Structure 1
Amino acid sequence: MVKEPSGTFWLGPADSGTEVSMEDLEALPTDPEALRQKVTAMQKGGPVGEHDIALLPLASLIAELPAPADVRSAAFRALAELPGVQRLGAVEGGEELMIQGGKRESRLVVDPETSRVIRTSWLPTADGGLAGTNRGLFIKLTTGWTDELPR
């Protein structure tokens, strides 16, 4: 997916999250607990299904939004503290995390050298949506900075 430049991004789902600018992302706390509290306070709704309300915003910060490295680091540490999040171990290309919420299970594969999410079974999108796959399948992610506009 290529997102046209708009100057803002969604932090959390469109129906309960909030729009943020680059300046907002750069101003987020770099302490994991402070970041969790901040993104929770920025959400308009309650938990998403059986997941903690901070889950999708934190996942957005590590997987999709252009958050600064120290904010991403705090988001990883905050995500690891949420109920139902566990490290499954090494897989091809990185470390696999599982997020369990009732009957729903989501997985992320993180490259430990770059701290980038390279595969996921679901993805909060920049426009506040949620993309997902069937059980056992992954979305392959490629992220990076560019100075070229989308075609």
Structure 2
Amino acid sequence: MLAALVLLSLTLFLRGNETMSPLKCKAFSRATIDVQNGPLVFSIVENLQLYNKRKEGMIHYNGYVKSPDANTYLERTIYLSNGVKTDKNTFTYKITRIVSAPLDTTSDDTFDQMWLENTSDNTTITLNIKNIREGIFTVSSPYSLQYTCVKY
């Protein structure tokens, strides 16, 4: 009886470590990227949502871009699927599609300047998601630290 109880407890403990709750976190970031025409200043809210044991999700960008030529509104959603855990905190996703909101006035070329900080193409993205404190995560790519977000 005691052995069965210990075995059941151990099974539940190990299975509990394998399950992942959905992750929803937001961050505000301001990034300046120097390009040939002058600096691009991205002031955006980044909303990361991962579901289904972090195998699918989305990244939503919402904010403004200031360039030497214009100030534009940015609102894009990147849909992720086929997430594969590559190590303790790292996942690689297939990018299903990138959708611009109807009010988005930022050119694809300008958006790509920021997007290249995340991935080298529009087919896959690798994200390292590290829990640094209760409800606080750093999100980074192989190219750079992206942001620190707060779970909601």
Same fold (TM over 0.5): no
Rg larger in structure: 2
TM superposition score category, shorter chain reference: under 0.3
Q: Select the structure with the greater relative contact order (CA < 8 A; seq sep ≥ 6).
A: 1
Give the TM-score normalised by the residue count of structure 2: 0.27
